[in-house]
Amino acid sequence: CKFPHVAELVNGYRGSGVTELELSSPHLTNVSLPSLFAALPHLPRLTSLCIDGVTLSDRNAGYLMRVLAYVPSLQKFTLSGTCLGLGGLIDIVKVFEYLPNLTELSITNNGFADDTSVLVCQFPKLKGLKKLNLESNGLGSDLTRSNTALGEGKSGIEFVAQMLEELESLEELYLDGNSIDVSGAEALAKAFPKLPHLKLIDLDHNNLGDAGAEALSEGLSCIPNLKTLWLGSNEIGDAGATAIAASLSCMDSLIDLGLQDNTIGEMGATALGNTLSHMIGLQELALHDNPITGAGLASIGDAFKTLTSLTSLSLQHMGLGDSAHELLGSLTHLSGLKEIDLSGNSLSATSVGFLVTALPALSQLKELRFGSNPIGDIGASILATALPHLKSLEKLRLFNSGIGDMGAAALAQALPDIRGLTVLDLHWNEIGDEGIFKVAQTLPMVGHLDTLILDGNCMGSEGAAALSQCFHRMEALTAMSLSNNPIGDNGICAVAEELPYLTSLTMLKLFNNDIGDTGASSLAQNLHRLRSLTYLNLQRNLIGDDAAKALGRTISRMSSLTEVNLSENSIADEGAASLAEALTYMPQCHKFNLSENPGITGGTDAIQQIETVLTLPRRERESRAVELREERERAGAGERGREMQFRAWCRGCTVPAVVEGVEKCRASGGEKLHIMYRDIGHTGVAALVQALALLPNLTELHLRSNHIGDIGAACLAQALPLLTHLTR
C-alpha cells in the first residue's frame, strides 16, 4: 500500500471482527505506517499483530507503542526484520505493561544486537508470556552500550537470562541464530531452574562449543518437563556431547533432540547412545552432519532397540560408508518410523542389501531419503524389491544415485504397489529414454502423485514423448521438473500437446532443455490452459523473438502466474517488448527474469518497463490490468465482428483469385495485399472493394495486370479514401 490507499484500507476494517493482522509489504513506508497504526484501536478483537520486513523508524516505533496501549486484547506480537534500533526498542517495550493478555512475543532479525538491558525492567510485567522468540538479533557476549556507562558490565545474553528468571510461565524459548558462547550458556544455565514450565529450547546456530555445551548441561538437567532441545550448528564435539548426554538422563519427557551439524565423533556418540537407550519416549532425532564412526555408530544402533517411539530420524551426510551395515540392520526395531534421511553417506549397493532387510518392518514409513549415494542400477534394483512392503510411503527421493535405465525399470515395477506415493524424486541420475518409458508406463497407477522431479537425466525427445502420454491420467500432479535433459523441440512439442491434461499443475520447470522457437511456440499454444500454474521456468534455452512474442500473448492471459524465468535465452529487444507488455496484464506476478539474453540491448525500454512494473504497488497494477483487459476485450469484439463479416464476404464473392489474395493478406497481418496477373477484371475489383473495409491496416496494394478497365478503376477510386494507412 502507498499512502493514498491506506486510509481506505483502514476504514474498511474498522469495528470488524479481524483477529489477525500481518503487515509484510515493502511498500509500507514510514509515511504510510502511522495511518495504518491508527486503525489498531478500532479492531476490538485483534489478538495477533505481525510486522515483518517493514522498516520501522524509531519515531514510528514510538507511535506504535502509544497505539498498542489501546489494544489490550493482543495475545501475539511479532516484530521481524524491521531494522529496529535501540531507540525503537526502548519505546516498544514500554507498552508491555498495557498488554496483560500477551502470551507470545517475537522480536527477531532486528538490529539492537546486545542492547537488551532495556527489556529487563519491562519483562516482569509479562507474567503470562509463554513463548519468547529472540532469533537472529546478534545476541552474544559483548557488553551492552546502554549499561556499560552505568558500570554494570553485563553482556546482552546475560540481560536476557536475567529477564528470563521473571517469566515463570514461559514454555518456549527461541534463541536461534545469535552469537551465544560459553558465558552466555552459563547465564542461561542459571536461569533454567527458575523456568519449571519450559518445554522447548532452540539454541541452533550459535557458538556454544564444548565449553558452552558443558555449561548449559548443568541447567538443562533442572528442566524435567523439557520436550524439545535443539543444539544444532554449535561446534559441539565429544566433550560437549558427553556433557549433554549426562543431562539428557534427567529429561524423561524429551521427544525431540537436535544435535545436527556439530563435530561429534566416536566418544561423544557412544555417550549419547548409552543415554538414548533409556529415552523410550523420544520421537525425533537429528544427528546428521556429524563425523560419527566405529563404536559411536554401534552405540547409536544399539539405542534403536529401545527407541520404538521414534518417528523421524536424520542421519544424512555423516560419511557412514558401507561399514554402517550394523546400524542399517538395527533400523528394523524402529517400527513407528515415518521419516528417515540417509542421503549423502557413500552407501553402495552392498549397503542397500542391509537396508532392505529392515524396510519391511517400517510399515508406517512415509518418507525415504536415500539420495547422493552411489547405489547404481544394482542398488536400485535391490531397493525396488523392498518398496512394495512400504504401503504408507508418500515420498521417495533417490536423487544423484547413479541410477540408469535398468534401475529405473526395476523401480517402475514397484511403483504400482505404492499407491499413496505423492513425491517421486529421481533427479541427477542417468536415466535415458528407455528408463523413462518404463517409468511412464506405471506412473498412472500412482493415483496421488503430485510432484515429479526428473531433472538432470538423459531424457531425449522420445522419452519426453513417452512421459507425456501418461499425463491424461495424472490429474493430481502439481509440480513437474524436467530441467537439464536434452529434450529438444520435438520432445517439448509432444509434452506441450498433452499439458492441458495436468489441470492441477502449479509449477513447471523446463530449464536447459534445448528448447527453440518451435518448442516454445508449441508451449505457448497450450500453457494458458494450465489455470493453476504459478511458476514457469524456461531459463537457459534457445528461445528467440518469435517464440517470446507467442509466450507473451499467452502468459498475459494467465492470471495465476507469479514467477516467470526466461533468462539466458536468445530473446532480443522485440521479444522483450512483447513480454514487458504481457507483464502489465499480470498484477499477481512479482518475479519476471529476462537477464542474460544477449540480444536485449542495455537499457532497453522493455527491461526498464519490467523493472518499473514490478516495483508498482499491487493495487495500482491490478487497476491498470483491468483497464487493459477491458480494452483488449473491446478490440477482440471488433476483431470477431470483422471475422464474421469476412466469412460472409467470402461466401458471396464469385472471384476465387480475389478471395485467395485477401485470405493471404489477413493471414500475414493484413498489411500487404498482392493480386497480380490474375485478370480479375472490374467484377473482381467490385468484390475486392467490399473486403477493403476489413483490412484497416493495409499499407500496400498491388493490382498489376488485371484488366480492371475504367469501370474497375472508378470503383477502386471510391474506396481509396478509406485506406488511411496506405503508403504504396
Quote the pLDDT of residue 30.
67
d(CA 67, CA 413): 64
Question: Residue range 119-127: average pLDDT?
Answer: 66
Picking from 6-20, 311-325, 470-484, which range would have the lowest pLDDT averaged per residue?
A: 6-20
Q: Is residue 65 within 8 Å of residue 37, measured between CB atoms?
A: no
Q: Counting every residue, how long is the chain?
A: 728
| Confidence class for position 6, pLDDT limits 50, 70, 90 | low
Quote the pLDDT of residue 2.
45
Judged on CB neighbours under 10 Å (0-12, 13-18, 19+), 656 is: exposed
Picking from 61-65, 146-150, 293-297, which range would have the lowest pLDDT averaged per residue?
A: 146-150
Question: Residue range 554-565: average pLDDT?
Answer: 94
Question: Residue range 506-535: average pLDDT?
Answer: 96
Residue bearing cell 536485449: 600
The one-letter amino acid code at 485 reads N
Picking from 80-84, 502-506, 534-538, which range would have the lowest pLDDT averaged per residue?
A: 80-84
Quote the pLDDT of residue 638.
58
Is pLDDT above 70 for 678?
yes
Beta-ladder partners of 369: 341, 397
Question: Residue range 44-67: average pLDDT?
Answer: 87
| Confidence class for position 396, pLDDT limits 50, 70, 90 | very high
Quote the pLDDT of residue 1.
42
Residues in contact with 275: Cβ distance below 8 Å, sequence separation at least 6, in sequence order = 245, 246, 248, 249
d(CA 376, CA 430): 9
Question: Residue range 259-264: average pLDDT?
Answer: 98
Picking from 92-96, 332-336, 594-598, 712-716, which range would have the lowest pLDDT averaged per residue?
A: 92-96
Is pLDDT above 50 for 526?
yes
Is pLDDT above 50 for 145?
no
Residue 620 dihedral angles phi and psi, to the nearest 5°: -65, -40
Residues in contact with 60: Cβ distance below 8 Å, sequence separation at least 6, in sequence order = 30, 33, 34, 37, 88
Picking from 5-19, 379-393, 446-460, which range would have the lowest pLDDT averaged per residue?
A: 5-19
Instruction: Summarize pLDDT for 579-604 with one digit per residue, the tens.
Output: 999 999 999 999 999 999 999 986 56
Quote the pLDDT of residue 651.
77
Question: Residue range 277-290: average pLDDT?
Answer: 97
Cα 719 to Cα 163, 453, 639, 687, distances in angstroms: 90, 61, 21, 12
Q: Using alpha carbons, select from 122, 161, 124 the residue that is nearest to residue 139.
A: 161
Question: Residue range 558-564: average pLDDT?
Answer: 94
Q: Three-state SS string across 610-674, please?
A: HHHHHHCCHHHHHHHHHHHHHHHHHHHHHHHHHHHHHHHHHHHCCCHHHHHHHHHHHHCCCCEEE
Q: Using alpha carbons, select from 329, 319, 344 the residue that is nearest to residue 298.
A: 329
Instruction: Summarize pLDDT for 356-365 with one digit per residue, the tens.
Output: 999 999 999 9
Residue 668 dihedral angles phi and psi, to the nearest 5°: -95, 10
Instruction: Summarize pLDDT for 633-666 with one digit per residue, the tens.
Output: 766 555 666 677 777 777 778 888 888 888 888 8
Quote the pLDDT of residue 149.
38
Quote the pLDDT of residue 462.
97
CB-facing half-sphere around the CA of 538: CA atoms within 13 A: 29
Picking from 8-12, 87-91, 274-278, 392-396, which range would have the lowest pLDDT averaged per residue?
A: 8-12
Quote the pLDDT of residue 148.
43
d(CA 433, CA 545): 31
Is pLDDT above 90 for 245?
yes
Residue 173 dihedral angles phi and psi, to the nearest 5°: -130, 120
Q: Integer distance in angstroms from the first to the last C-alpha of the chain?
A: 52
Quote the pLDDT of residue 124.
62
**DSSP track, 544-602:** -HHHHHHHHHHHTT-TT--EEE--SS--BHHHHHHHHHHHTT-TT--EEE-TT-TBSPT
Question: Residue range 535-560: average pLDDT?
Answer: 95
Range of 432-441, 583-592, 697-706 with top mean pLDDT = 432-441
Quote the pLDDT of residue 170.
95
Instruction: Summarize pLDDT for 369-388 with one digit per residue, the tens.
Output: 999 999 999 999 999 999 99
The one-letter amino acid code at 679 reads D
Picking from 225-229, 261-265, 338-342, 669-673, which range would have the lowest pLDDT averaged per residue?
A: 669-673
Question: Residue range 262-287: average pLDDT?
Answer: 97
Quote the pLDDT of residue 129.
93
Q: What percent of the chain has pLDDT over 70?
A: 91
d(CA 394, CA 383): 16
| Confidence class for position 162, pLDDT limits 50, 70, 90 | confident
CA 326 to chain centre: 38
| Confidence class for position 151, pLDDT limits 50, 70, 90 | very low
Is pLDDT above 50 for 150?
no
Question: Per the structure block, which three cell numbers stand in for 481?
Answer: 521438473
Q: Which helix (H) or strand (E) holds 684?
A: helix 681-692
Q: What is the pTM of this model?
A: 0.84
Is pLDDT above 60 for 281?
yes
Cα 634 to Cα 352, 550, 555, distances in angstroms: 64, 21, 19
What angle (nearest 5°) sits at the alpha carbon of residue 590, between those of residues 589 and 593?
95
Is pLDDT above 90 for 210?
yes
Instruction: Summarize pLDDT for 102-111 with one digit per residue, the tens.
Output: 999 998 987 6
Q: Is residue 244 within 8 Å of residue 215, measured between CB atoms?
A: no
Residue of 10 and 208 predicted with greater confidence: 208
Range of 25-29, 184-188, 311-315 with top mean pLDDT = 311-315
Residue bearing cell 529487563: 120
d(CA 130, CA 199): 10
Residue 509 dihedral angles phi and psi, to the nearest 5°: -115, 120
Question: Per the structure block, which three cell numbers stand in for 186?
Answer: 552459563
Output the average pLDDT for the chain: 89
Residue of 118 and 195 predicted with greater confidence: 195
The one-letter amino acid code at 11 reads N
Is pLDDT above 90 for 248?
yes
Tell me how many helices (H) and strands (E) the chain has.
Answer: 27, 23
Quote the pLDDT of residue 440.
97
Quote the pLDDT of residue 666.
80
Cα 297 to Cα 65, 171, 330, 522, distances in angstroms: 54, 33, 11, 54
d(CA 444, CA 87): 61
Question: Residue range 451-479: average pLDDT?
Answer: 97
| Confidence class for position 436, pLDDT limits 50, 70, 90 | very high
d(CA 258, CA 230): 4
Question: Per the structure block, which three cell numbers stand in for 437?
Answer: 518409458
